[in-house]
Structure 1
Amino acid sequence: MTVQRNLFADVAVVALLASGALPAHAADRDANSSKAADGVANAQTQTPQDQTITPAQADAASDIVVTGIRASLQSAQARKRNADAIVDSIVADDIGKLPDNNTTEALQRISGIQVSRDRGEGGSVAIRGLSQVLTTLDGREIFTAGGGRGYNLQDFPAEQLAGVDVYKTPTADLIEGGIGGVIDLRTRRPLDMDGFVVSGSLRGRYQDLVDKVSPLGSLLISDKWNTGAGEMGLLVSGSYQERAFRSDIEAVGAPSERNDLITGRTIVTPNGDYEPLIDGKRRRIGLGATFQWKPTPELEFYAQAGYQEFRSIQQQRGLNNPSNGLSVVPGSVETFDGTDDFMRGTFQNLSASTFGVTRDTYDKNQQYSAGFDWDRGAARLTGDFTYQHSTNDLYYTEQDLKVTIPLATLDLSGKTPTMSFDGIDLTDINNYTLGYTVRSENHYTGNSYAGRLDGEFEIDSPFLSGFKTGARIQKMDTAFTPIRFFYQPSTTTSAAGYSSLFETMPFDDFFQSNPAFPQGYFTAITSSLRNDFDGVRNALGVSAAPAVDPASVYDMSETTVAGYAEMLFKVDSGLRFDSNVGVRFIKTSLNIDGNQRSTVGGVTTITPQTYNNDYVSVLPSANVRFHLTDELQLRLAASQTLTRPNFSQLSPAFTLVPAQGQGSGGNPNLEPLRADQLDASLEYYFSPTGSLYLAGFYRKVKGFIFTSSNRQVINGIDYVISQPTNGDDGKIKGVEVGGQTFFDFLPAPFDGFGVQANYTYIDSSTPSAIANYTTPLPNLSKSSFNISGLYEKYGLSIRVAYNYRSKYLSGLYGLPLAAGGSQNIPIYRKGYGWLDASINYDVTPNVTLTLEGSNLLRTREFTYFDQTTRPNNISIDDRQVMAGVRFTF
């Protein structure tokens, strides 16, 4: 079965990689058929109502049928062109035709956005270098409990989206909170659909490293009716995704200088290595329902409900082999040519440990909304109320074994560093002793109540075109309850008497069966750690149970009251332009209840702490668009924005991890981050699906939050405690350039080819934890680009998308010097590319077969300490291939 699956995967990958170069020769079909892709109404095949198209463009497009990818590009381009700020958009068909199963992966296609990877799929998002991003759902702020303020975009299945708008400049009516920008997730509404619609998808996903197939499915049902009480519509949708995953990681320990390895030389030497193999399964569920009622053409009432659940069940097994201070076999140490950087050497009597870990995360998010929209044309009034509830639970359990290795050879010379052992039989349980046993649980809850009222009024004037005003009030509360357990045997205890807790490492193909890595060693049975931790404690003879850490508990509430006023201007003669100029006022009231641990004379006490903080913010904004010609427009924008500190950063509590000697604490005196922003964008629209743009931006961020560290002894354990603090100003500046088009001027069948491409350059400088020292923004690449090759004709749709980002700063490390003291050096992530592809074929106007692939190049992560001859982390993730069917009726 495994051979068959691998053969299928190899054939599929070859097909996907080849697809970008093959012309389409498929049976022709009715080009005017309705696709309603991913549940989008047939209106997608028509020109968007809000797009201005010149007569020349209309003539050029008159013989082009707008469906599929063309429709998605046209709709997204129209939203960007007609927005009242600098906005980029993607729509449902665009998302549905790439293997983008969560929102983050869809967003990586937009210029200026860089995403991180989490076990081979999209994780966090930064807009123009800033990770402080506000997420809204149909214009309403949403969040995921977990100590932060943002929404975990991994939680939202892409199939449930009608589109995503990324606001890179604010307007006064946008909710404050994101100095990076605002990401608005747009869902479908029944009255926008063409009557009764049923659409969905069924797919299977094969992950090659873990060698498993996982199911994915989605379904949307929508209908609307004309009744005696007006028009009504109801839409329900659901999505279910599973993904098995595996990551192989070889992490080389942090370096230090040693002068005892090679006579007369100081060698930069790593602290052994760390070899986790991580496997698990993720499940993502999305449910949604929307009801609309229009008793008259001018008045609409609506109610919406949404639910997202994300579960990640993960096991981690491997070896930890620290080598600091160990002697080496004389003459065994070699260095990289022309450097004093350690390349290869053999250490003696290394004290290693094996580990078995479970790390399970559960996110659950609920949103309930109701409101109205009263539109008289010259005047519009809208109101909305939203309640949200979110929980986040993390369960981490680890059990270690210790073993002494007579000879351990660390070799950094190959593509993958390795640590090999000699003089020990790792398959004999008698050679092991018990190590740490740790359990940590983090439980977060969050609630939000928000109401808003907005009005918009047209003004009949040759200059002033309208006025907007509104108010919003929101109350958020969040609570954190940590549970901790730590056990360390008081004496050296043989593991032989506890063999029921351990098993032979179940994988024997680490880094694709690299023979240099140790095999057959014992690790903790992860299923016991997860499902029967009390049984593990009893087997160890430990009566103490996991308990709440009272010093780390906190409960916070925050009330914001906001109002705004915005003037709209429009001039249609001479130099034509339109603009909005406004200001947003916000009062923030924060209450923090927590605890603080202190140790005096060896006695530890926990003291309740209460903090209150009120402040007022005034955020002006201005956006102007000059219509230089019918096709060419120039946008200029200036604004001020803010992002409030995360709740976990504001906590007065400490969270301690005894096994690692690490602790983290908050700072209730943190101030919000504030940014001054300048933006410009020159945009040329030469066809309904063709455009070019050049944008520049500048951000000055005040009060960047960074982490400082200090040492404390708590309950006899030496901890390094990290706490956030506001720093000096930081600056970000950059440019974006991009465009898209179909090559309609080519003869058939080549007129079905198209391309999308964009490039972003960002330069930044921010304060760090080192006095008078600045660095680039962490996790920010200076250069990134996307390029997608497109083909759509004869019912065949092909897309090959490549995303690249250059190296970036991961963090700073204090390199211990042989002469004493330390030198701070950067840790970099080497630049990398990510290749996805998809092939779709319309069997009928309503049924499409799909083949999709992700991580087709099997990208390797590589991080290093300052120089590539000082490796830090190397990892590989699954290549994924999906096949299935989409349908719409």
Structure 2
Amino acid sequence: MNICFKKSLLATAVLTATCSTSFSIYAQDSEDEVIEQIVVSGFRGSLIKAKDLKKESLGSQDSILAEDIADFPSLNLAESIQRIPGVTITREAGEGRQISLRGLNADFTQVQLNGMEALGTSSSAMDSRGTTNLSRSFDFNIFASELFNQIDVKKSYSAEMDEGGIGGTVKLYTAKPFDYDGFKAVVSAQAGDNSLTEDTSPRVAALVSNRWDDFGALFSLAYSKRDTAEQGYNTYRWRPRDAQGSDISALSQTDQEAVNSGDLRFSRGSRYSQFNSEQTRIGATLALQYQPNNNVLVGVDALYGKLDSERGEFHLQSRGSSSTALGCTGADYEGARNFCSRLTDIQYNANNEVIYSAWEDTALHSESRDQGATTDITQVVLNGEWSVNNALVLSGLLGHMKSEYESNSAKVYLESFADMTIDYRDDRFYGTNSYINGFDPTNIDEYRYHEIDLQEDKVDNSFNIAKLDADYLLTDHSTLKVGGSFKRFEHSNNKEQVGNALRSEWQSGEVSDVIDPSLVYVNDIHEKQAWLSADVNGVLDAFSVNRDLSYSDAPDEVVEETTAVYATYEHDFLLPDSEVRASVGLRYFDTDIESSGIVNGSEYVTVERQYDGVLPTFNLAWYATENLVVRASAGKNVTRPTLGSLSVSGTVNADPLFGSSGLSINSGNPGLEPFETINMEAGVEYYFDEVGYASVTYFQKEIDNFIATNVAPVAYGDTGYPLSLIDGMVDENGDVQTPDTIYTLSQPQNLAQSDFSGWEAAFQRDFDFLPAPFNNLGAIVNYTYSEGESLHNILVDGESVEVYRPFYGLSENTYNATMYYEKDNWGMRVSVAYRDDYLTQVETSSSDQDEAGFHGTTYWDFSAFYDVSDKLKLSLEGINLTDEREEQYSDSDDRLYNTTLSGRTFYIGLTYSM
């Protein structure tokens, strides 16, 4: 948008009409006379374009553009996006995986890819991080960043946008041929190294684009292969236990009484851990554009992405009573005696946490896991725009996207009994295990086979969408936008597992559990401890165990169909020395849901429901001066429940004499209402003449229908489950059950309203006012403060109690800062990203913990480039320079859950363009 003032403009930036980041800036003292032209490219050029996109947007928006063609200097998209104000990321194997926006976790951020909603699913090797993603959050680590040339983060909502992103909407764009003039070709190659691995981490990207008058074609490709490693120490959380049969006679009388009271908390698992992965990422895009005349433009965008991970996971862990070092364990090999561990020394703190313990004959397992996890994403989008006349523009989109995730996991356990100590006194978030009295965890003679566990997961998500929009110019200063869309989303989740394979045969002696030396090896990768690990596939082959399981014919499924229409009216008010742009809009949506799954392990059940809503929106931008913009927005939006919450699958206990819970149901809830929010924000932005701006924004969200697990009495007929499940059953009084029979229902429920608010400040500036050579310096700094709590019902001593906890994923304080120095042919920058502690889980009924989350982190990165010539560029990147520890905590008393380090990563590369 060009704002006209009566006074002459001394420096007006005129940007080229392409998406590349090379710009021409003209200094002028009249509209016709050009005095000087300065070409700005590279990192500074990308900042200029992003600044102008932010300024010209009617709503609150931040953007990132590639510094050069096929050049986002990050491992993946999440790490690129984290530099935007208010964005924080979670990490997997040292890479960004998911994003949170302004303190709301990834479930509240809608992701669009080339104009249509997208969902990509990957997984974590760690149970503590949630393993397979069954939410609506997008896993950004699937895609190489080089495939994209622009990312827009829309923080305020307008009626023409798809509903679904309470936190905001992230729009990803791949390159198109009309972005460039004529022929363009670029190839880049990098080699990398991580301090915990020994690979060269090749990374290659290429783009070829050309235009032939009214037709253009573009193809891009990105490939990377990278060995990753995370190592550390973790627990299965901490549990109050008594002696559990262990010999505690060596302890003082006071310590014996403390143990026998059952009040002391013992760490579970208490293990050294190593997570390795060979990760291959492949991506490709194809874009075609056809413009037969100035009024018609048709395009096709196709995208393919694949993330393939071959993982190895290794632990040396306690496996006594409840996975502590306590208790008596029958040795799982023929003729061996039972072992009851002996606790010979103990120290505990004021919270009754056992921070030091010495043991004899405690159960110890070596766990080895082999897992393959693959995500495939395909997308095809047909888009078109037709300028019917000077006043009316029609645009449309047809799109299909499919994400397929599949994993296959096999674990082999070796059993031993050890004399050892477990010590948290020096570092309460990184335990130290010492093996004493001659026990050697690398000695094959100390071990026998114990068990084999198998698991397969398959998650499919697909979107089909059709959109039609009309943009009508009512007057020179007002526009009416109307449109509609239809979207069909399908989700399927299938999980199969086999536990304790061969355990009984090894225990009975039917099959020998003596370990073949050719099927084990000394694992010495962990910096703290070496131990004996198994060749998982070798063991499976030796015992003829087939790890390929048969999936169920009746997976958990959710099908959503949404029809939406909208109208937005926008008006520009020209004032004497300023301009006001304002829009009001209304969006109506209607959603039908069909959720299917297995109940009680046998009956396939389908539940249908419908909901709709009206979403009013208002956005205003007052361009008070050439440099000053004041913004305000208000509106309503929704975020739909997570896929796991909508699952109909569950367990119905219709026998009042079975178990301790009586008549009860534990399940998902297809009847959930979506989260609803009233969004409000106001901000002030000041734009410097060339690169940079300063801004302050206040935001507030009132969220209704917040979802959390609830335990409550409910009439069976109100649960949505079929009456056939209680046919012929009686209640605790012997009466035949009816739809009015009361059950204890544990499932996700819509609870009370939650309020959420915060401040966001950002500063971006070239230091061109400094004397040379410091005038080539610049800085980008942003800070976000967020606060908000949600209601949870938890069980305390059998009673339901309401408690408030911070939103999942909310870090109260976050900031990003980048200092850069750039000249015509070389430049460098260093960046830091910080986030506070954040919550990931609230337990409704657990003796181990009341919550879990992550401690705060600070990540430092570095990047530099040198232009050897106009066509050849050298680059150097350093990621996680300080080898930051990721610490997961358990309970509000802040106990160790999981601590890992992922190492420092460095890349050196070159880019050649034609």
Q: TM-score range by the shorter chain?
A: 0.7 to 0.9
Please, which of 531, 538, 542 is the counterpart of residue 520 of structure 1?
531
Please, which of 453, 461, 468 is the counterpart of residue 453 of structure 1?
468
Greater alpha carbon shift after TM alignment, 79-88 vs 371-380: 371-380
The answer as to 2:783 corresponding to 1:749 is no
Q: Would you say the 8 A contact 1:98–1:838 is kept in 2?
A: no
Instruction: Tell me which residue corresponds to 1:811.
Output: 841
The answer as to 2:361 corresponding to 1:349 is yes
Mind listing any 5+ residue stretches in structure 2 that lack a counterpart? 1-15, 122-132, 244-250, 328-339, 653-664, 713-744, 795-800
Please, which of 578, 593, 596 is the counterpart of residue 596 of structure 2?
593
The answer as to 2:422 corresponding to 1:422 is no
SS in 2 for 1:456: strand
Counting only pairs closer than 5 Å after superposition, residues 96-115 of structure 1 correspond to structure 2 as 99-115=73-89
The answer as to 2:177 corresponding to 1:190 is yes
Instruction: Tell me which residue corresponds to 2:717.
Output: none
Instruction: Go from structure 1 to structure 2 and tell me whether the alpha carbon gap of 1:59 and 1:871 turns closer, same or farther (over 3 Å shift).
Output: farther
Greater alpha carbon shift after TM alignment, 381-390 vs 267-276: 267-276
Q: Would you say the 8 A contact 2:412–2:451 is kept in 1?
A: yes
Counting only pairs closer than 5 Å after superposition, residues 464-479 of structure 1 correspond to structure 2 as 465-479=478-492
The answer as to 2:124 corresponding to 1:118 is no
1:54 CA drift (Å): 10
Q: Distance in 2 between matches of 1:397 and 1:57?
A: 70
1:42 CA drift (Å): 6.3
Counting only pairs closer than 5 Å after superposition, residues 273-312 of structure 1 correspond to structure 2 as 273-312=270-309
1:167 CA drift (Å): 0.5
Instruction: Tell me which residue corresponds to 1:45.
Output: 23
Please, which of 436, 440, 447 is the counterpart of residue 432 of structure 1?
447
Q: Distance in 1 between matches of 2:407 and 2:547?
A: 21
Q: Would you say the 8 A contact 1:302–1:370 is kept in 2?
A: yes
SS in 1 for 2:156: coil
Instruction: Go from structure 1 to structure 2 and tell me whether the alpha carbon gap of 1:57 and 1:64 turns closer, same or farther (over 3 Å shift).
Output: farther
Q: Would you say the 8 A contact 2:360–2:420 is kept in 1?
A: yes
Q: Distance in 1 between matches of 2:852 and 2:641?
A: 25
Please, which of 499, 507, 525 is the counterpart of residue 515 of structure 2?
499
Q: Distance in 2 between matches of 1:704 and 1:355?
A: 39
Please, which of 204, 227, 245 is the counterpart of residue 228 of structure 2?
245
The answer as to 2:544 corresponding to 1:538 is yes
Instruction: Go from structure 1 to structure 2 and tell me whether the alpha carbon gap of 1:506 and 1:110 turns closer, same or farther (over 3 Å shift).
Output: farther
TM-score (normalizing by structure 1)? 0.84
- Ranked by relative contact order (alpha carbons within 8 Å, sequence separation 6 or more), the top structure is 1
Query: What is the identity percentage for the equivalent residue pairs of Structure 1 and Structure 2?
Result: 24
TM-score (normalizing by structure 2)? 0.82
Q: Would you say the 8 A contact 2:378–2:403 is kept in 1?
A: yes
Instruction: Tell me which residue corresponds to 1:879.
Output: 904
Instruction: Tell me which residue corresponds to 1:714.
Output: none
Counting only pairs closer than 5 Å after superposition, residues 62-77 of structure 1 correspond to structure 2 as 65-77=39-51
Instruction: Go from structure 1 to structure 2 and tell me whether the alpha carbon gap of 1:870 and 1:823 turns closer, same or farther (over 3 Å shift).
Output: closer
1:413 CA drift (Å): 1.9
Q: Would you say the 8 A contact 1:696–1:736 is kept in 2?
A: yes
Counting only pairs closer than 5 Å after superposition, residues 579-658 of structure 1 correspond to structure 2 as 579-597=582-600, 606-654=602-650
Instruction: Go from structure 1 to structure 2 and tell me whether the alpha carbon gap of 1:427 and 1:805 turns closer, same or farther (over 3 Å shift).
Output: closer
Counting only pairs closer than 5 Å after superposition, residues 264-413 of structure 1 correspond to structure 2 as 267-321=264-318, 322-323=323-324, 325-326=326-327, 332-335=345-348, 340-375=352-387, 376-413=389-426
**Matched AA of 1:44:** S
Please, which of 189, 197, 205 is the counterpart of residue 192 of structure 2?
205
Instruction: Go from structure 1 to structure 2 and tell me whether the alpha carbon gap of 1:863 and 1:648 turns closer, same or farther (over 3 Å shift).
Output: closer
SS in 1 for 2:883: coil
Q: Would you say the 8 A contact 1:218–1:237 is kept in 2?
A: yes
**Matched AA of 1:149:** R
Q: Would you say the 8 A contact 1:196–1:224 is kept in 2?
A: yes
Q: Would you say the 8 A contact 2:826–2:867 is kept in 1?
A: yes
Instruction: Go from structure 1 to structure 2 and tell me whether the alpha carbon gap of 1:88 and 1:879 turns closer, same or farther (over 3 Å shift).
Output: same
Q: Distance in 1 between matches of 2:28 and 2:344?
A: 77
Instruction: Go from structure 1 to structure 2 and tell me whether the alpha carbon gap of 1:691 and 1:869 turns closer, same or farther (over 3 Å shift).
Output: closer
Instruction: Tell me which residue corresponds to 2:869.
Output: 844
Q: Distance in 1 between matches of 2:365 and 2:853?
A: 27
1:127 CA drift (Å): 0.9
Q: Distance in 1 between matches of 2:492 and 2:766?
A: 52
Instruction: Go from structure 1 to structure 2 and tell me whether the alpha carbon gap of 1:500 and 1:652 turns closer, same or farther (over 3 Å shift).
Output: farther
Q: Distance in 1 between matches of 2:30 and 2:676?
A: 45
Q: Distance in 1 between matches of 2:83 and 2:73?
A: 12
Q: Would you say the 8 A contact 1:427–1:504 is kept in 2?
A: no
Instruction: Tell me which residue corresponds to 1:21.
Output: none
Q: Distance in 2 between matches of 1:708 and 1:208?
A: 45
**Matched AA of 2:408:** Y
Instruction: Tell me which residue corresponds to 2:659.
Output: none
Q: Distance in 2 between matches of 1:814 and 1:468?
A: 47
Q: Distance in 2 between matches of 1:776 and 1:58?
A: 57
Mind listing any 5+ residue stretches in structure 1 that lack a counterpart? 1-35, 598-604, 657-662, 711-720, 817-821
Q: Distance in 2 between matches of 1:568 and 1:194?
A: 33
The answer as to 2:791 corresponding to 1:761 is no
1:612 CA drift (Å): 1.1
Aligned residues: 800
1:43 CA drift (Å): 6.7
The answer as to 2:775 corresponding to 1:775 is no
1:872 CA drift (Å): 2.7
Q: Distance in 2 between matches of 1:675 and 1:357?
A: 43
1:68 CA drift (Å): 1.2
Counting only pairs closer than 5 Å after superposition, residues 121-270 of structure 1 correspond to structure 2 as 121-130=95-104, 131=106, 132-144=108-120, 147-226=134-213, 231-257=214-240, 262-263=254-255, 267-270=264-267
SS in 1 for 2:175: coil
1:882 CA drift (Å): 0.2
